[in-house]
Amino acid sequence: MQTPKTNQQKKIQVDSSSMDRIHPMENVLRMDRIPHIWCPGCGIGLAVTAFAAALEKAEIDLSKIVIVSGIGCTGRVAGYVKLDSFHTTHGRAIAFATGIKVANPDMKVVVFSGDGDLIAIGGNHFIHAARRNIDMLVVCVNNFIYAMTGGQVAPTTPLTAYATTCPFGCVEPPFNIPYLADSSGAVYVARWTTLHVRRLTNAFVEALNKKGFSVVEAISPCAQYYSRINRLGDGLDMMRYYHDNAEIRNGEDTKNLDIDFQGKIIVGKFIDRERPSYTDRYNEWLSKVKGGENEPG
Amino acid sequence: MIVARTGNEAMAEAMRQINPDVVAAYPITPATEIVQLFAKFVNDGLVDTEFVPVESEHSACSACCGASASGARVMTSTASQGLALMHEILFIAAGLRLPITICLVNRSLSSPINIHCDHSDTMASRDAGWLQIYTENAQEAYDTTIQLVKMAEQALLPGIVSTDAFIISHGMERVELIDDKEVPKFLGERKVNYSLLDVDNPITLGPLDLQDYFFEHKRSEIDAMDNVLPIIEKVQKEFGDKFGRYYPIVDEYKLDDAEVAILVMGSTGGTAKVAVERMREKGKKVGLIRARVYRPFPKDAMTKALSKVKVIGVMDRSDTMSTLGGHLYNDARSILYKSDNQPLMKNYIYGLGGRDISIEEIEAIYEQLFDIQKSGEVDKDVVYFGVRGE
Ligand SMILES: Cc1ncc(C[n+]2csc(CCOP(=O)(O)OP(=O)(O)O)c2C)c(N)n1
Ligand code: SF4
Ligand SMILES: [Mg+2]
């Protein structure tokens, strides 16, 4: 199958010309859509900037990448990147992305979405794409709530934290996203906060170069809802909290990565392993049944 | 008590006074606030409700079914994509005759994505076997929420009461609240003949039902729809007798001596009433019909209303995507097929994705209806009003 050529840009040159840009990342951002909707102090922009830097660093062919988002503040990412992108429905980004990947196995598929989108309403797709080991990078911006709709409790809200639909404090234990990804079969799993811009960028670079289902969780401040209702200050205060409470433990057992309200946040790269991807297995099986006649793809 | 409330606040107040046993919900703009306010009532101990912030609308509707099957009084709230995601379960609730009340805010369905008002969401669910009542303002939304719980429980049918996104949901209006003590009295306890968790009489819900009995069960569901209008009327009358606000099945406004009329639903009814006043000041005999109860479709009352005038402009805030125009238009035309008195009819699809409709635009539509009356002919049956390139 042919990959449609829709994007004019080829590999970006990493050179000094980036100094002439209005924004250092303007080659991958839709400048006509800026200013964006994100609030002052929000971490989503940091995650996007780190991701844009990773695209340069990993020398990704921009005509071969597609960004898929669900719905939410983070879901808006698909509309701000000057790349092929798909703003899908709430919870279904991974399912749409699966279709894109199997139809165009040589495309680099990146899902960029929020914790609610990927882990609440879309949780089913998350575990099944990991199980199949669909070759895609999932960037999960985790701000512990459904921010877009006004800060409601999510399956990522730490126990006892407040949210607009749990003014009594969260009584449900949250998901530990790296553990969920690991136990479902992901081949690359990392977690950083949006304070760790350099490490987050490196994680994106590694994950972009990895074949298989990769998950990078970016813990991110929602200054508007999460920190306000929990009286945690503004975006900068959240950054200070990350600074004081994030502990790097590369290779830590993912079981130990629960996030307690205002407790330590363990960050690092936890999983980096090999498993045949869905398309590899599929092509291998096809060649077997068709006796070598199969053209991969 | 007279207060200032938005449509969402008014619906949340109604839910507080109803004090349902179970609320399961997932947030979505512009309905989020209803349950968010309700969560605060739970927190403040103002209701006895078990509130579950589930992980999707599909789960919300499923949880509501489970709770309703166990005899609980159950409510939820959603809009647009949320209702679409409930779609599968809507049919389960209706087929199992489980009363559930949804406080819905009408918002257009993706794609393209949009958060503003049209009626595509509820119209896409109109065949699910749920009662559907569209309201004109915050007061009606509040009153109807309370009424619908009673209607649904008496008819053993689930129901949707809706407001127009932002126009009603976020618009602040004067609302008269009923005394807190009066609402539970008006509703009474939910009476259940068969329920889960009745240990002496175990029942099974949802088993396979093939060629032998499926049809009879579906027929009985249709019977329930056939028989529900008198229940709706009775509850509306009881409500009026008790609280002084009477609601009709079909809302007629200055229709009796009108020559032409508009048929409309939702908040545009209010805008159109002002247009009627203005036209009447100019001596033009115009009237208005507002479809309040839309499912079941009140064919007798609607036929009577439609037959009063010579020309009808049907304003639909949704399209059937069948090339046949809007939903309301198709229903209205269909009931007039055997009528002796058939007004000329033109369909105006308007306001998709929240595009505003003004009093002046409605006046312009009335003028077009007079032209039709004069010529005796409808040039084009379906037009798209207020869209570029039309
Ligand atoms: C089926 C459906 N249900 C609900 C919504 C409303 N909705 C939009 S975004 C969102 C939550 C977003 O949370 P998250 O994915 O964590 O992203 P964030 O805004 O926090 O970045 C919800 C509930 C929707 N668009 N579609
Ligand atoms: S609401 Fe929260 S997550 Fe959304 S843009 Fe604002 S700060 Fe960011
Ligand atoms: Mg979130």
Q: Tell me: do B209 and B71 sit in the same domain.
A: yes
Mean pLDDT, to the nearest integer, of B306-320?
98
Does residue B55 sit in the same domain as residue B115?
yes
**Is the CB of A121 less than 8 angstroms away from the CB of B56?**
yes
Q: B144-148, B162-166, B190-194: lowest mean pLDDT where? A: B190-194
Domain end position, chosen among B193, B221, B242: B242
* Confidence check: pLDDT of B22 > 60: yes
pLDDT tens digits, one per residue of B247-293: 999 999 999 999 999 999 999 999 999 999 999 999 999 999 999 99
Q: Give the span between the Cα atoms of B149 and B250, in whole angstroms.
A: 20
Distance CA A286, CA A283 (A): 5
Which of B214, B242, B270 is the last residue before a domain boundary? B242
Instruction: Closest CB to B36: pick one of A87, A164, A168.
Output: A164
For ligand 1, residues with CB inside 6 Å are A 71-74, 90, 113-117, 141, 143, 145-149, 154; B 26-28, 57, 81-82, 85
Q: Is the dihedral of CA B270, B272, B277, B278 positive or negative?
A: positive
Measured between alpha carbons, how far is B152 from B187 in angstroms, rounded to an integer? 11
d(Cα B299, Cα B305) in Å, to the nearest integer? 10
Domain that holds residue B178: 2-242
Q: Cβ contacts (< 8 Å) between A75 and chain B: which residues?
A: none
pLDDT at A261: 96
State the Rg of chain A over Cα: 19
Q: Is the model's pLDDT at A5 over the cut of 50?
A: no
Stated pTM of the model: 0.95
Nearest atom in ligand 1 to the alpha carbon of residue A90 is 26
Share of chain B above pLDDT 90, in %: 97
Contact B35, B60 (CB under 8 A): no
Q: Has residue A297 been placed in a domain?
A: no
Which residue's CA is the nearest one to ligand 2's atom 2? A222
Q: Do B39 and A164 touch (CB under 8 A)?
A: yes
Interface test with A, best of B8, B32, B54, B80 (most A CBs within 10 A): B32
- CA nearest to A87 within chain B: B113
pLDDT at A8: 45
CB-based contact A71 B113, cutoff 8 Å? yes
Q: CB neighbours of A192 closer than 8 A, spacing ≥ 6?
A: A199, A200, A203, A216, A217, A218, A219, A267, A268
Instruction: For residue A218, give the nearest of A250, A255, A189, A254 by alpha carbon.
Output: A189
A146 contact residues in B (CB cutoff 8 A):
27
User: Which-ligand-closest: CA of A120?
Assistant: 1
Residue A118 included in any domain: yes
- Which sign, positive or negative, has the C-alpha torsion B292, B298, B304, B307? positive
In a shared domain, residues B371 and B302: yes
Residues in Cβ contact with B281 at an 8 Å cutoff, skipping those fewer than 6 apart: none
Can you give the CATH number for the domain in which A215 is found? 3.40.50.970
Residue A249 neighbours by CB distance under 10 Å: 15
ipTM score here?
0.94
Total count of residues recorded for chain A: 297
3-state DSSP call for residue B1? coil
Evaluate if residue B118 carries a pLDDT over 90. Answer: yes
Determine, for residues B27 and A150 on separate chains, whether the beta-carbon distance falls below 8 Å. Answer: yes
What would the mean pLDDT of B86-113 be, rounded to a whole number? 98
Q: Which DSSP symbol is given to A166?
A: B
Asked whether residue B345 carries a pLDDT value surpassing 80, the answer given is: yes
Written as six digits, the tokens of A218 are 């970016």
Same-domain pairing of B226 and B362: no
pLDDT above 90 covers what percent of chain A? 87
Alpha helices (H) along chain B: 7-18, 32-43, 57-69, 80-95, 120-123, 138-155, 182-187, 214-226, 228-243, 268-281, 299-306, 327-335, 359-375
Instruction: Express each pLDDT in A265-282 by its tens digit.
Output: 999 999 999 999 999 999
User: Which residues of chain B does A167 touch, with a Cβ-Cβ cutoff of 8 Å?
Assistant: 39-40, 43
Lowest mean pLDDT among A23-37, A161-175, B291-305, B368-382: A23-37
Does one domain contain both B112 and B213? yes
Which atom belonging to ligand 1 lies closest to the Cα atom of A142? 16
The token pair at B120 is 């595509």
Six token digits for residue B334: 């269909």
The sheet carrying B131-134 orders its strands as: B50-52, B22-24, B74-79, B101-106, B159-164, B131-134, B293-295
Does one domain contain both B68 and B169?
Answer: yes
B146 and B268 both lie in a single domain:
no
Q: Is the pLDDT of residue B97 over 50?
A: yes
Contact A167 B53 (CB under 8 A): no
Do residue B184 and residue B315 come from a single domain? Answer: no
* Nearest chain A alpha carbon to B115: A149
pLDDT digits (tens, 9 = 90+) for B206-221: 999 999 999 999 999 9
What pLDDT does B194 receive? 87
pLDDT band, very low/low/confident/very high, at A127 (cuts 50, 70, 90):
very high
CB pairs under 8 A between A and B: 45
CB-nearest to B56 from A120, A164, A166 is: A120
DSSP state of A118: I
Residue A55 has pLDDT above 90, yes or no: yes
Residue A14 falls within a domain, yes or no? Answer: no
Q: Which whole number is the average pLDDT over A143-172?
A: 97
Whether residues B39 and A166 touch (CB distance < 8 A) is answered with yes
Contact A149 B56 (CB under 8 A): no
CATH of the domain at B330: 3.40.50.920
Is the bond preceding A35 in cis, omega lying within 30 degrees of 0?
A: yes
Residue A7 has pLDDT above 60, yes or no: no
Reported confidence tier of residue A4, pLDDT bands at 50, 70, 90: very low
The pLDDT, as a whole number, for residue A294 is: 58
Final residue of a domain: which of B204, B221, B242? Answer: B242
The answer to whether residues A47 and A139 touch, using CB atoms and an 8 Å cutoff, is: yes
Contact A52 CB / ligand 2 (< 6 Å): no
Are A89 and B27 in contact (CB < 8 Å)? no
- Reply yes or no on whether the pLDDT at A3 is more than 50: no
Confirm whether B390 is domain-assigned.
no
Dihedral sign of CA atoms A71, A119, B35, A258 in order: negative
Strand B286-291 vs strand B250-253: parallel, antiparallel, or unpaired? Answer: antiparallel
Residue A14 clears pLDDT 70, i.e. is over it = no
Shared-domain flag, residues B324 and B185: no
pLDDT level of residue A2 (50, 70, 90 thresholds): very low
Average pLDDT over residues B339-345: 94
Q: Are residues B346 and B202 in the same domain?
A: no
- Mean pLDDT in residue range B228-252: 98
pLDDT at res. B390: 87
Nearest CA in chain B to A154: B55
Name the residue at shortest CA distance from atom 5 of ligand 2. Answer: A38
Confidence bin at A16 (pLDDT 50/70/90): low
Which pLDDT score is estimated for B198? 87
Whether residue B227 is found in the same domain as residue B287: no
Say yes or no to pLDDT of B333 above 80. Answer: yes
Mind listing the pLDDT tens digit for each residue in A188-247? 999 999 999 999 999 999 999 999 999 999 999 999 999 999 999 999 999 999 999 999
Q: How far apart are CA A178 and CA B245, in angstroms?
A: 56
In a domain, A1, yes or no: no
Chain A residue numbers with beta carbons less than 8 Å from the beta carbon of B110 are 89
Pull the structure tokens for residue B212. Answer: 């032998």
Q: Is the model's pLDDT at B387 over the cut of 50?
A: yes
The size of chain B, in residues, is: 390
Q: Please give the distance, rounded to the nearest whole angstrom, from the Cα atom of residue A143 to the centre of ligand 3.
A: 5
**For residue A18, what pLDDT is reported?**
58
In chain A, the residue whose alpha carbon lies closest to the alpha carbon of B41 is A167
Q: Which long-range contacts (CB under 8 A, 24 or more apart) does B53-56 make?
A: B53/A152, B53/A153, B53/A165, B53/A166, B53/B25, B53/B26, B54/B24, B54/B25, B54/B26, B55/A120, B55/A121, B55/A123, B55/A155, B55/B26, B56/A91, B56/A120, B56/A121, B56/B26, B56/B85
* Shortest Cα distance, chain A CAs vs residue B16, angstroms: 15
**Whether residues B295 and B214 fall in one domain:** no
DSSP sequence for B70-89: TT--EEEEEEHHHHHHHHHH
Mean pLDDT of B81-109: 98
Residue A21's pLDDT is 75
Domain range for A127 is 20-290
Alpha helices (runs of H) in chain A, residue ranges in sequence order: 44-57, 77-80, 93-103, 115, 123-132, 177-184, 197-208, 226-229, 235-245, 278-290
Question: Considering its fold, how many domains does chain B have in total?
Answer: 2
* A153 CA distance to ligand 3 middle (Å): 9
Residue A4 lies in a domain: no
How many domains would you assign to chain A? Answer: 1
What are the DSSP calls for B12-33, one per residue?
HHHHHHH--SEEE----TTTHH
Compute the average pLDDT of residues B326-342: 96
Task: List the single residue in A71, A148, A152 with the smallest CB-CB distance to B53.
Answer: A152
Residues of chain B found within 8 Å of residue A78, distances taken between Cβ atoms? none
Best mutation target among A87, A152, A180 (most B Cβ atoms within 10 Å) is: A152
Q: d(Cα B124, Cα B130) in Å, to the nearest integer?
A: 12
Kindly state if the Cβ of A144 falls inside 6 Å of ligand 2. Answer: no
Q: Is A48 in the pocket of ligand 2 (CB under 6 A)?
A: no
Chain B residues with CB under 8 Å of A153 CB are 53
Expressed in angstroms and rounded, the spacing between residue B237 Cα and the centre of ligand 2 is 47
- Closest to B240 measured CA to CA, from B143, B354, B149, B338: B143
> Residue B322: pLDDT above 70?
yes
Q: Give the Å distances, CA to CA, from B59 to A122, A127, A136, B71, B86.
A: 12, 18, 27, 19, 8
B238: domain CATH number?
3.40.50.970
Residue of B28, B33, B115 to mutate, interface with A, max A Cβ within 10 Å: B28
Point out the ligand 2 atom lying closest to the alpha carbon of residue A72. Answer: 4
